[in-house]
Structure 1
Amino acid sequence: MNQRDFLCDDLFVYWRIHPTRELNAFWESYLRENEDIRIPFNEAIETFEMIRNGKEILQNDDTSILHELKDKIEKGKRKKLRKLLTSSVAAILLIMLIPTFFILYKNSESVEPGKSSIGEVMSTNHIQLFTGGDILEIDNNSTLDLSGKKHTALIQNPLTRKEIDLKDHQTNKLIVPYGKRSILILADGSKVHLNSGTKMEFPSMFTEKKREIHVEGEIFIEVTKQNNTPFVIYTPHSQITVHGTSFNVSSYSEDPKEAVVLVNGLVEVKSENSVLQLQPNEMAEIENGVILHKQVDVSDYIGWTSGYLQLNRVPLNEVLKKIGRYYNVEFQYDPAIDLYDQTCSGKLFLSENIHDVLEAFSKMTYLQYNKQSDDIIFIHS
């Protein structure tokens, strides 16, 4: 690679505009493994900085790069994040880093003294599908359907329809950031609703002996029954085995507990220390490897798939956490307001306008809200 290759690489340009600890570590590792490109790499950094400082240094045949770089730099000054769509070697090597970088990215602004915070704001605005060496952006509320033609997935919503090619034994990853939702129909016809802030790994095709997926976040899944091929879901804290059923799984990394709520059918939940079979209208709550068994009203846990939250004496901090994930906002509040001990009940409709939701929340709780910025809302009495 020469310096021109780096200057045309979106990941390199993004790093120079928005350096982070994760990206610094990535490029340091990349250089250690590719010492032969260190000189052109450093030359590209020098060239980039000269362009950023307004110095015309490229040759005439590179004027297109100069104009493109200037445009990217100007856009980078106005936006927190650039879209990351590149087929370069660097981007391929970063595939395992991207989920951590985007999904676990936290707002760098500190909370003011005397305020507490609920939730975090995700800085990427697009659902991303990692398949092979490609990264595809998917519109919000789109359906990704693998159950049709072999080797093909269909991405569709009311306005668009697009086919993409998949390889048989390929593992894919779908990342749904806060503020977004998606539907995935697996190769066997099983239907998965993915809530905000969810990562899911799944194969392009299942084998005859097993059907397995990996999930972190929240899903509601309707599993297609296949008598001789059980369906297994792996989460950070459990293994869920099903044969044909519908249920909800909530397993966010920042939550201390994981919850599995069964709507119909039969599932077996296995943790580090326990095993439990669930019947309909039962919940398995997993904490520190121990499974607790509860009778529940399933509508309290699956309403989000229909655009509402059914609340039954839910602590206010948990309500705000759910709203924050759904709309990709962070809530700040005076610690004097004890949101952990106060609860609310009722049905909260999740409209497209978050202010409608917050108005309803205010009427339910007698609390007020003020918009601090596009992604920070202050709650007060």
Structure 2
Amino acid sequence: MNVNNYNNHTTEADLLRDDFFIRSMLAPTEETERFWQQVLLVNNLSEEVFEGAKQKLLQPAHSMNQHAKDALFSQITESTHTRVRKISYYRYAAAAILLVLGISFALFRYQSNEVPVKELAEKSQADTSGILLVTGDGETVNIEGKEAVLDFSNANAVTVNKKKLEVARISQAVQHEVRVPVGKRISLILSDGTKMWVNAGSIVKFPSHFDKKQREVSVDGEVYADVVKNPKKPFVFHTKEFNVQVLGTSLNIHAYSDDPNQQVTLVEGKVKVKSSQGEHFLKPDESYFADGKTEEVREVDVTFFTSWKDGFYRFKDQQLKDVIQNLERYYGTDIECSPKIAKMTCSGYLDLKDDINMVLRGVAFSMDIKFKKEESSYKLYQ
């Protein structure tokens, strides 16, 4: 790192948007302390600004009101998430604390809650099998690797990672099914060119070719979709609890059959969500929420619901148990968490390209708890 990089850092906001500053304040070393001393000596950065940014970063959560926490969270996330791909040189032991997670003891906070929380360890063992394509004629194809691109848009061939898939009569099969186990993901390109990112632990049912009147797909899990526009042929997503109709749009659907919390988040276009309780029309930057009892539509920051497809996980004011549940699906491993810790609420930004050990190390450091590996699972505890 060159001290001259900080010639233009003259305010606290400049430092709070700087990844290296965040990391070196939270996990200081003799080398980083010498570096910042040199910056203060040779640059325009004043010691008052430096100390002010440092104190904001390290300020205990109990001494901050909610407005201050939200302001700090927004200030730090404002630009860092657009530059995360450029900072690979920071990726070592402290990388799990990268970006907003690094300020977690300013943002993570315990929230008293008397609602009982079951041990997360009660979850069944993670499915570590491969991605499966089950064709309409019953043939099963194992797709190797943690991620893949399955393409049905070419009329003459079906490909996996641009390689032709040798499956008998697949182009004539009516209905196919992709099963993505926990710890894996797949991109699915349908016959009309619609592209879907299918998250871990999800099942998608789709045809080789759509009929003339309507395009229909079934989802159990989470998908992000860029739907090709065709006013004459509406696109319908079917889930266990609701249907979503679109003409051409970008949206995220979170609808795991074993999760009572269901969401549809609209990025572009317009959609109609139809459930047993009625119909809801969404505009961009709106989400439909349902928990099995109530449902509502509210305005949201869509990046908190769609960042997973790009390998990042953003969350705000979520209980740790929900964060852990998503990490379990994404990494395909069990994580045990005590009821007390599970009720903590937190905000953060995780790079899912880091391995699970690095991510959990960052979570434990930030929340002042401990973690350890136990055979094929992990445990968070105080």
Q: TM-score range by the shorter chain?
A: 0.5 to 0.7
The residue matched to 1:227 in structure 2 has which SS?
A: coil
Task: Write the distance in 2 (CA, Å) between the matches of 1:260 and 1:303.
Answer: 14
Pair 1:313–1:184, CA change in 2 (3 A):
same
Partner of 1:128: 132
Q: Does 1:154 align with 2:159?
A: yes
Q: Does 1:282 align with 2:286?
A: yes
The residue matched to 1:297 in structure 2 has which SS?
A: coil
Question: 1:1-381 residue pairs with structure 2 within 5 A?
Answer: 117=121, 119-131=123-135, 132-139=137-144, 140-150=146-156, 152-156=157-161, 162-164=165-167, 165-168=169-172, 170-288=174-292, 290-335=294-339, 337-340=340-343, 342-374=344-376, 376-381=377-382
Task: Write the distance in 2 (CA, Å) between the matches of 1:200 and 1:289.
Answer: 25
Amino acid at match of 1:136: V
Amino acid at match of 1:146: F
TM-score, normalised with respect to structure 2? 0.65
Q: Which structure shows the bigger proportion of residues in helix conformation?
A: 2
1:22-51 CA-to-partner distances (Å, cap 9, x unmatched) read xxxxxxxxxxxxxxxxxxxxxxxxxxxxxx
Cα distance, 1:115 vs. partner? Answer: 5.9
User: Retained in 2: the 8 A contact 1:271–1:290?
Assistant: no
1:187-216 CA-to-partner distances (Å, cap 9, x unmatched) read 000000000000010000001111000000
The residue matched to 1:346 in structure 2 has which SS?
A: strand
User: Retained in 2: the 8 A contact 1:271–1:289?
Assistant: no
The alignment covers a number of residue pairs equal to 262
The residue matched to 1:254 in structure 2 has which SS?
A: coil
Task: Write the distance in 2 (CA, Å) between the matches of 1:239 and 1:115.
Answer: 32
Cα distance, 1:289 vs. partner? Answer: 6.6
The residue matched to 1:300 in structure 2 has which SS?
A: helix
Amino acid at match of 1:339: A
User: Retained in 2: the 8 A contact 1:315–1:339?
Assistant: yes
The residue matched to 1:363 in structure 2 has which SS?
A: helix
Amino acid at match of 1:189: G
User: Retained in 1: the 8 A contact 2:204–2:217?
Assistant: yes
Task: Write the distance in 2 (CA, Å) between the matches of 1:236 and 1:148.
Answer: 30
Pair 1:204–1:354, CA change in 2 (3 A):
same
Cα distance, 1:286 vs. partner? Answer: 2.0
1:149-170 CA-to-partner distances (Å, cap 9, x unmatched) read 24x311116xx65454523351
Partner of 2:30: none
User: Retained in 1: the 8 A contact 2:158–2:164?
Assistant: no
* More relative contact order, 1 or 2 (CA 8 Å, 6+ apart): 2
Identity level (%): 31
Task: Write the distance in 2 (CA, Å) between the matches of 1:276 and 1:300.
Answer: 21
Task: Write the distance in 2 (CA, Å) between the matches of 1:324 and 1:246.
Answer: 26
Task: Write the distance in 2 (CA, Å) between the matches of 1:291 and 1:274.
Answer: 10
The residue matched to 2:121 in structure 1 has which SS?
A: strand
Structure 1 residues without counterparts, runs of 5 or longer: 1-113
User: Retained in 1: the 8 A contact 2:260–2:291?
Assistant: yes
Task: Write the distance in 2 (CA, Å) between the matches of 1:115 and 1:312.
Answer: 22
The residue matched to 2:308 in structure 1 has which SS?
A: helix
Pair 1:241–1:115, CA change in 2 (3 A):
closer
Task: Write the distance in 1 (CA, Å) between the matches of 2:241 and 2:201.
Answer: 17
Structure 2 residues without counterparts, runs of 5 or longer: 1-117
1:202-240 CA-to-partner distances (Å, cap 9, x unmatched) read 000001111000000000000000110000000000010
Cα distance, 1:285 vs. partner? Answer: 0.9
User: Retained in 2: the 8 A contact 1:245–1:265?
Assistant: yes
Task: Write the distance in 2 (CA, Å) between the matches of 1:345 and 1:116.
Answer: 20
